Amino acid sequence: MNVLQKLVSTGAKTLPRNGLMRHSSHFVYQPDAKAPVEGPTQKMNMFQAINQAMDIALEQNESALVFGEDVAFGGVFRCSMGLQKKYGKQRVFNTPLCEQGIAGFAIGVANTGAKAIAEMQFADYIFPAFDQIVNEAAKYRYRSGNLYDCGSLTFRAPCGAVGHGACYHSQSPEAYFAHTPGLKVVVPRGPNKAKGLLLACVKDNDPCIVFEPKTLYRAAVEEVPVAAFESPIGKADILRSGTDITLVGWGTQIHVLQEVANMAKTQLDVSCEVIDLVSILPWDKETICNSVKKTGRVLIAHEAPLTNGFGAELAATIQEECFLHLESPVLRVTGWDTPFPHVFEPFYIPDKHRCLAGIRKLINY
């Protein structure tokens, strides 16, 4: 009897250190310290918070529509579960497996004034819709001389590492869209941010993309306000104050950085300021630069590849705005410039060990 058979027969839930299974989670989830608004709360994971946000949007706006591949039965991540039953097939419905068509339809209904919430089943599959989003949705207001716009258009897309997604279910494509004036791009770190950002995007006057780290759908659990609320687009969150080094990330990576901040304090006696960028486009230059001017050192971490990742934009701006305050070069700890691997994912992601090594490098510079 091999080790897996023994586990099944004994009902064991984890393997010994010399077993065959590897753990997919490279982070320890850090819930928000308090709810974003006052009032009754409910314990939710991230997909439940997203579900509630769409429920609120559908309830508050008779024109609101939710659509995408498999959303009618709840979607592959269950984010739209129960919504078709509550609001009907005319407002929550499946689409063909055609991302370009999903985006084109979303642009059309948004131009009529409807609140369009379109799901791309995986962010990796958003690229067939790239032309529609970048050349149509983002430019509609400008091209029409403000006669028409694609406000009230929101794309949801699960993104990032999940432990077993390989090259077609693990990518983080936020930097592609950050190069496009007319779009807004956000990445939540947990249930409260996911709900607040989604509701803010639904009400925004520009087309928005919400990249949702799929590994957080169930791993992230918080007390979430039951009432509707919005999280500001374009505003970063300082999650931990510090004096020696600024750590910047977004999405799942922010939980890695919070753990790294604890490690740096314990092992190196280094005080880290941890900032969740939250919004990729527009991004909060003031908060980032003020922090770097205070600490003199900055480490930027993201799962996307190094070259032309959005960390490069942060690094360039910090160099321009904070040069005389820097005690060391800006450092990026990111995914590698390779396709996202399957079995080698643990070596690809910017985990706590790589980030802590980066802090040592900056402090010793």
Distance CA 110, CA 314 (A): 32
Share of the chain above pLDDT 90, in %: 90
Rounded to an integer, the average pLDDT of 122-137 is: 97
Does 169 qualify as catalytic in the annotation?
yes
* The pLDDT of residue 11 is above 90: no
156 close to 120: Cβ distance less than 8 angstroms: yes
Place of tokens 């919005």: 230
Share of the chain above pLDDT 70, in %: 93
The rounded Cα 152 to chain-centroid distance in angstroms is: 20
pLDDT digits (tens, 9 = 90+) for 229-244: 999 999 999 999 999 9
The reply to whether the predicted model has a pTM over 0.75 is yes
Rounded to an integer, the average pLDDT of 103-132 is: 97
Exposure pattern of 127-143 as b/e (b: 16+ CB <10 Å)? eebbebbbebbbbbbee
* The pLDDT of residue 12 is above 60: no
What does DSSP assign to residue 123?
G
Does 212 qualify as catalytic in the annotation?
no
Distance CA 360, CA 244 (A): 12
- State which amino acid sits at residue 206: D
Write down the CATH number for the domain with range 41-225: 3.40.50.970
The packing angle between helices 352-363 and 253-268, to 10°, is 50
What does DSSP assign to residue 340?
P
Q: How much is the pLDDT for 347?
A: 94
Identical fold, 41-225 and 237-364: yes
pLDDT digits (tens, 9 = 90+) for 310-363: 999 999 999 999 999 999 999 999 999 999 999 999 999 999 999 999 999 999
pLDDT digits (tens, 9 = 90+) for 261-317: 999 999 999 999 999 999 999 999 999 999 999 999 999 999 999 999 999 999 999
Q: How much is the pLDDT for 152?
A: 87
Rounded to an integer, the average pLDDT of 178-188 is: 97
What band does 60 get if pLDDT is binned at 50, 70 and 90? very high
The residue extents of the domains of the chain are 41-225, 237-364
Distance CA 23, CA 91 (A): 39
pLDDT digits (tens, 9 = 90+) for 17-52: 444 334 457 999 999 999 999 999 999 999 999 999
Place of tokens 């690809």: 348
pLDDT digits (tens, 9 = 90+) for 210-225: 999 999 999 999 999 9
What band does 6 get if pLDDT is binned at 50, 70 and 90? very low
CA angle 121, 122, 126 (to 5 degrees): 95
Residue 68 vs residue 147, higher pLDDT: 68
Tokens at 321, concatenated: 């705005």
257 close to 246: Cβ distance less than 8 angstroms: no
The mean predicted confidence, pLDDT, of the chain is 93
Q: How much is the pLDDT for 150?
A: 86
135 close to 100: Cβ distance less than 8 angstroms: no
SS3 129: helix
In degrees rounded to 5, what are phi and psi of residue 276?
-90, 115
Chosen CATH of 237-364 out of 3.90.660.10, 3.40.50.920, 3.90.320.10, 3.40.50.300: 3.40.50.920
Place of tokens 């991230």: 46
Q: How much is the pLDDT for 163?
A: 87
Give the dihedral of Cα atoms 39, 44, 46, 48; nearest 10 deg. -100
182 close to 234: Cβ distance less than 8 angstroms: no
Q: How much is the pLDDT for 24?
A: 52
What band does 16 get if pLDDT is binned at 50, 70 and 90? very low
Q: Which residues, 6 or more positions from 259, have their beta carbon under 8 angstroms from its beta carbon? A: 27, 28, 30, 352
Which of the residues 69, 136, 169, 230 is marked catalytic? 169
* The pLDDT of residue 228 is above 70: yes
Tokens at 72, concatenated: 């009618």
DSSP 267-324: HH---EEEEE--EEES--HHHHHHHHHHHS-EEEEEEEESTT-HHHHHHHHHHHHHGG
Distance CA 5, CA 103 (A): 47
